[in-house]
Amino acid sequence: MFNLVYDDKTTHAIGLRPAPARLFYDCLMKTIRRLSQSLILLGALGAGAVHASALPPAISAQLTANYPAVEALYLDLHRHPELAFHEVETAAKLAERARALGFEVTTGVGGTGVVAILHNGPGPTVMLRTEIDALPVQEKTGWSFASTATTKNAAGETIPVMHACGHDIHMSAWYGSAKLMADNRTQWSGTLMLVGQPAEETLQGAAAMLKDGLFTRFGKPDYALSIHDEATLPAGQVGFHAGYFRAAADTVTITIFGQGGHGAAPHDTRDPVVMAARVVMALQTLVSRENNPMDPVVITVGSIHGGTQANVIPDQVQLKLTVRTFKDAVRKRVLASIAREVKGEALAANMPKEPTVEVQAGGDAVFNDPALTLRMAATLRGAMGEQNVTEMPAKMTSEDFASYGQAGVKAVLLHIGAVPPAALEAAHQRGVPLPGPHSPQWAPQYQPTIKAFITAETAVLLDLLPPAKR
């Protein structure tokens, strides 16, 4: 096997080199990357000392003692999920518990959001955010405490509701971490800002809370942390990724206008179904032939609607797309290219009317502050063990946690495994992925996940909030 050889001065490929030399080159690049990360971490250490040690034994004992109440909350939340901006009972449960811990609690922020503040002397303000909404999914886990909740949608139809994304785990851990921090306030100084955010699943809740004055009414935090459960990591293992981590998501609705008619006489029509098929294929080239492969893009046509029966050519077809990107420049270019391709296909097909292309902007890309991410990773390695903290790849799924970083806060979104290690290994061996978030079969191994969740959140909070001066 041979590989390209690179000129050290120009970095241009100039010939072939045996594979072992290429392996040396790859190892050198990996070493340089790790050194860069170390330098970033040193910068983070200069901003504040990392407490690279396990949770104090007394706090670990408290976590164990508190866990039954935390699990009881989890089971209750799982049985009684609520959809975006309808999380009235859910918010009340969180608010009640935060008040009992001594937090100053405000409800109804951004609709149904909860903000709980604990002032504890001088120091930074650290925000811990949890999502509180569920999904319109019918649960099929087979659990004895499975959700049987239903609600009415905007059309008046009865639909099922389930915490299919694990927000019930997030909220339970949020409460568990809040209790540990409140009960050990002599160990830290600063302000802890707990945020229970609605409507994450619709990517609207963060923006709604910010618009309602989250950072003006309650103060802008110095740091923001959130953690999400994860189906590709074993239960209790924390995953981190510095830089772009979760993608921006936009919805595009395309309406193609044709000339309908009899299915036996297509020559007397302008068939929007055929054009829709051509559009679907043309859009794929925007990724494969117009985009730098180092800048991830996903274009998914998730819905095509047109026509009523087999022998009638309809006069219009509607397509709905989701477009996911990381970089703003790529995002703008891809959306513009979609409009260009659609209008070009209509021109080529001699359609009677130009199609419409409507873009509904979704959440921005989550960007994890690199220095803060590596600082948190170092803290977590000390608290949870080297083997339980791992760097993970970026994901093309979306999260409106991005809004807090866009507002100028140093923010980090971490992930935590929620799958039994043996089941995950078996799935890898079979080459068949396990059900994950948004699946009706999403059944996280909640006990070790919640405990690790609380450990991770508490360790990071105790690091970011300096020790109280005695």
Token pair recorded at residue 458: 């508490």
8 Å CB contact between 416 and 237: yes
Q: Is 415 helix (H, G, I), strand (E, B) or coil?
A: strand
- Partner residues linked to 118 by β-bridges: 192
- What's 96's DSSP letter? H
Q: Is 200 a catalytic residue?
A: yes
Q: What is the DSSP string of 420-460?
A: -HHHHHHHHHHT-PPP-TTSTT----HHHHHHHHHHHHHHH
Contact, 72 vs 176, CB < 8 A? no
Annotated catalytic residue within 87, 133, 341, 345: 133
Can 71 be counted among the known catalytic residues? no
Report the Cα 208 to chain-centroid distance in Å.
17
- CB-based contact 165:442 (threshold 8 Å): yes
Beta strands in 51-203 (DSSP E): 104-109, 113-120, 125-131, 150-152, 158-160, 190-197
Instruction: Report in angstroms the alpha-carbon separations of 314 from 263, 267, 309, 337, 345.
Output: 9, 14, 9, 26, 17
Beta bridge partners, 177, equal none
Strand partners, 256: 317
Exactly one of 87, 168, 200, 315 is catalytic; name it: 200
Strands (E), 295-400: 297-306, 312-313, 316-325, 356-361, 366-368, 389-391
Is 150 in contact with 159 (CB distance < 8 Å)? yes
Report DSSP state, residue 10.
T
- Tell me if residue 93 falls in helix, strand or coil: helix
Distance CA 345, CA 343 (A): 5
Find all residues with CB under 8 Å of 194, minimum gap 6, and list them.
98, 103, 114, 115, 116, 117, 118, 127, 128, 129, 130, 174, 178
CB neighbours (10 Å) of residue 281? 10
Which residues 6+ apart lie within 8 Å of 144 measured at CB?
Answer: none
Which two three-digit tokens encode residue 1? Answer: 């096997």
* Catalytic center residues: 133, 200
